[in-house]
Amino acid sequence: MAESKKTQNTESKLSSPDSMSICDSTKQMLNKAREDNVETAFERADTMKACPIGADSACCKHCSMGPCRLNPKDPYGKVGVCGATIDTIQARNFGRMVSAGAAAHTDHGMSMLDLFRKVVKGEIPDYEIKDTAKLLEVAASVGIQIEERSIQDVALELYEELVLCGVIYYAEGQPAGFIVGDELNEETFALHFAKGKREFRGIYEYMFSTFAELLPRRYRLLNFEQDLGIEALRKAKSAYNPDYLMEKYRLSLK
């Protein structure tokens, strides 16, 4: 009896599958899952009672001296063991959530791009580009010439365009640095430009490490491009303890 009352209470908390998404096929899937008693993230979210301290982002477990729990009802009453105030803890929690979320989505996007490249190069014969009109539309939208060219040609150029990626870093509400790079080969990603405001100490190290985290795992190497033989540049690049330096040659016909 108690069990059936509990089940009724749980069911009354659940949102209707039709209110969970604006996508018809997703609604269909969710209705089917509900009929078959398959639990989804939507049901778990409906029945999950959030931790009141976590909901206010007043908890920190970024180091082994914690977890530190501040009181959301008296936010400035105490600080974490390291001295972090509620403002620091909330800002850090937010920054980490954004970075982790962005990294997860970037990885999906880059995986799709990998697949796209392999399809275009004929390395995965089981897939093909079916919606060529969409491909041409997307290519034209980023300035790629589409007239009198094969679909494969356009797709390859689009891949090269899409694999070029960069990040702008903000600090104190202002752009503090940016980084741009693209793929050199299947296992190497080249960083073309990185500029950061020197007043933010450590910004280059921060940009390089967070950008590297965003890249797909298949890249084994980051290429920092040439140092032009300039001593200061060589020194700065060597500070990152590179795996190796590669000599570069220029060939010309006699």
Least Å distance, CB 96 to ligand SF4, is 11
The answer to whether 66 contacts ligand SF4 (rule: CB under 6 A) is yes
Helices assigned H by DSSP within the chain:
2-13, 24-35, 41-47, 52-55, 86-120, 132-141, 151-163, 203-214, 231-238
Does 61 bind ligand SF4 (CB under 6 A)? Our answer is: yes
Minimum distance, C-beta of residue 90 to ligand SF4, in the bound complex (Å)? 11
Amino acid 250 reads: R
Among residues 57 and 210, whose Cβ is nearest to ligand SF4?
A: 57
Residue 165 near residue 181, CB atoms below 8 Å: yes
**Helices 86-120 and 203-214 sit at what angle, rounded to 10 degrees?**
50
Q: Which residues pair with 196 in a beta bridge?
A: 177
Per CB under 6 A, the list member of 81, 104, 164, 236 interacting with ligand SF4 is: 81
Exposed/middle/buried for residue 58 (C-beta within 10 Å: 0-12, 13-18, 19+): buried
Q: SS3 of 18, please?
A: helix
Report the residue number, 96 or 108, with the smaller CB distance to ligand SF4.
96
Q: Total number of residues binding ligand SF4 (CB under 6 A)?
A: 13
d(CA 59, CA 36) in angstroms, rounded, equals 38
In the complex with ligand SF4, which residue's Cβ is closer, 79 or 144? 79
Position among 45, 51, 65, 97 found at the interface with ligand SF4 (CB under 6 A) = 65
Q: Does 245 bind ligand SF4 (CB under 6 A)?
A: no
Candidates 23, 51, 63, 236; binder of ligand SF4 (CB under 6 A) is 63
Among 52, 67, 175, 242, binds ligand SF4 (CB under 6 A): 67
Strand pairing class (68-69; 221-223): unpaired
Q: Is the dihedral of CA 92, 98, 101, 104 positive or negative?
A: negative
Residue position matching structure tokens 């970037």: 106
Residues between 188 and 207 with contacts to ligand SF4, criterion CB under 6 A:
none
**What mask of x and - would describe binding to ligand SF4 in positions 83 to 122, judged by CB under 6 A?**
-x----x---------------------------------
State the residues that interact with ligand SF4 by CB under 6 A: 60-63, 65-68, 80-82, 84, 89
